Amino acid sequence: MNVPQENTKFLENLNPEQIKAITLENQSALILAGAGSGKTKVLTSRISWLIHNQITGPTGLLAVTFTNKAAKEMLSRVTDQLPIHTRGMWVGTFHGLCNRMLRIHHREVNLPETFQILDSSDQLSAIKRLMKAMNVDIETFPPKEIQYFINGKKDEGLRFKNVKPYDPHTKRINEIYGEYEKQCQREGVADFPELLLGCYELLKNNIAIKEHYQQRFKHILIDEFQDTSELQYKWLKLLAGKENFVFAVGDDDQSIYAFRGARVGNMQDLEKDFKIKNIIKLEQNYRSKNNILNAANAIIENNTKRLGKNLWAESGDGDPIRQYIGLSDYDEANFILDEIKMLHRAGTNYSDMALLYRSNAQSRVLEQAIVSNNIPYRVYGGLRFFERAEIKNALAYLRLISNKTDNNALLRIINFPTRGIGARAIEQLQDHAKLNNSSLWDAAKDIESQNEGIQKGVPFFVRLIKSLEDEIQGTSIAESIESIVTHSGLKDHYLKDKDGIDRVSNLNELVSAAVTFINTTEIENEALSLVEFLNYTSLESGELQASAGDDALQLMTIHSSKGLEFDVVFITGLEDGLCPHEQSLSEADGLEEERRLMYVAVTRAKNKLYLTLAQSRMLHGQTRYNIPSRFLDEIPEDLLKKLNSMKKLDIISAPTKMAARSESKHEIKIGSSVTHPKFGQGVVTGYEGNADDLRIQIKFATQGVKWLAMEFAKLTKI
Active site residues: 39-40, 223-224, 254, 604
Q: Number of H helices and number of E strands within the chain? A: 27, 22
Contacts of 613 (CB under 8 A, 6+ apart): 324, 325, 326, 332, 572, 573, 574, 575, 626, 628, 629, 632
Contact, 295 vs 602, CB < 8 A?
Answer: yes
Under DSSP, the state recorded for 577 is: B
Distances 532 to 64, 97, 99, 224 between C-alpha atoms, Å: 20, 13, 11, 26
Contacts of 158 (CB under 8 A, 6+ apart): none
CA distance 436 to 428: 12
Secondary structure of 657-672 in HEC code, one letter for each residue: CCCHHHHHCCCCCCCC
Burial of 168 (0-12, 13-18, 19+ CB in 10 A): exposed
Distances 243 to 20, 213, 230, 274, 276 between C-alpha atoms, Å: 22, 12, 21, 10, 13
Angle ∠(542,548,550) on CA atoms, nearest 5: 155
Distance of CA 670 to the CA centre of its chain: 38
Distances 545 to 385, 457, 504 between C-alpha atoms, Å: 6, 36, 16
- How many residues are present in the chain? 718
| Pure H helices in 488-584 | 490-495, 500-520, 529-539, 558-561
CA distance 251 to 37: 10
Q: Packing angle between helix 500-520 and helix 477-487, nearest 10 degrees?
A: 160
CA distance 602 to 604: 6
